[in-house]
Amino acid sequence: FLPKASAECAADGAHLPFIRNDFENSLYNGILNLFDEVKTQSTFLVLGLVCNPSTRRFEWSDGSTLMYTRNQINLNFDCVEQQQHVVARKWFNDWFRVDDDSTLYTYTILCVKNASPVDAKCGEYSPIDYPKDAGRPCYQIHTESLSWKDAEAQCEADSGALATINSADENKFLWRSAVQAGAVSGAHIGAYKSTSDSA
């Protein structure tokens, strides 16, 4: 199952999720909550962990070392012999080992594509049409009704961030773009009040 999931992602120039810290774990759980069809107790997100045949231990599919795990899951075993893969269980907020040929559960495949540094080509994003210089940022308007946290997670999953507004011109441009896209009730931006603020 894992090779098939990896191949499906690789065909799009993407990979299965790497989770290297608590923040990324929360981020992927937040992304799963955006989709109604995976808001169930049995949501199993297939992770990008592969068995290295030389070391006979798991590593991330980009070859990097596995340093972070959830719930003290034991991954220190011969993965060539055991033939298992690792999934993240959203409901329990943990990781779980499943036999490669198991059909007991429904698995969710989430492909992650790392964006290249912003340049003159914005890919699926649009370039801000001012100022007329090479350093202008790229943007994309999402019209889904999301909380600020979920909007932040969606942008980060897309290798972006909520918009920062540094001038009146930027504010006008982004507001006009949001309205043209149908987001007439407002849009989330990157500004937030820190919990350490007294006011």
Residue 40, pLDDT score: 56
Each residue of 130-143: pLDDT tens digit? 554 445 567 777 77
DSSP 28: H
What is the largest distance, in Å, between two alpha-carbon atoms of the chain? 62
Mean pLDDT by 10 residues, the chain (199 residues): 78 88 83 63 82 93 91 91 88 87 79 60 59 60 81 81 78 76 75 60
Report how far residue 89's alpha carbon sits from residue 46's, in angstroms, rounded to the nearest whole number: 9
Residue 52, pLDDT score: 93
Q: What single letter denotes the amino acid at residue 170?
A: E
Query: Does the reported pTM lie above 0.95?
Result: no
Residue 165, pLDDT score: 79
Task: Could you list the beta-strand ranges (E) of 44-148.
Answer: 44-46, 49-52, 57-60, 84-89, 94-99, 107-108, 126-127, 138-139
Each residue of 56-90: pLDDT tens digit? 999 998 899 999 999 989 999 999 998 888 999 88
End-to-end CA distance of the chain: 52
| Strand-pair category, 94-99 with 84-89 | antiparallel
Query: 108 near 46, Cβ under 8 Å?
Result: yes
Residue 109, pLDDT score: 85
Phi, psi of 190 (to 5 degrees): -75, -10
Report how far residue 52's alpha carbon sits from residue 112's, in angstroms, rounded to the nearest whole number: 21
Q: What single letter denotes the amino acid at residue 130?
A: Y
Phi, psi of 50 (to 5 degrees): -125, 160
Residue 70: is it exposed, middle or buried by C-beta count within 10 angstroms (0-12/13-18/19+)?
middle
User: Inter-axis angle of helices 22-32 and 148-157, to 10 degrees?
Assistant: 100
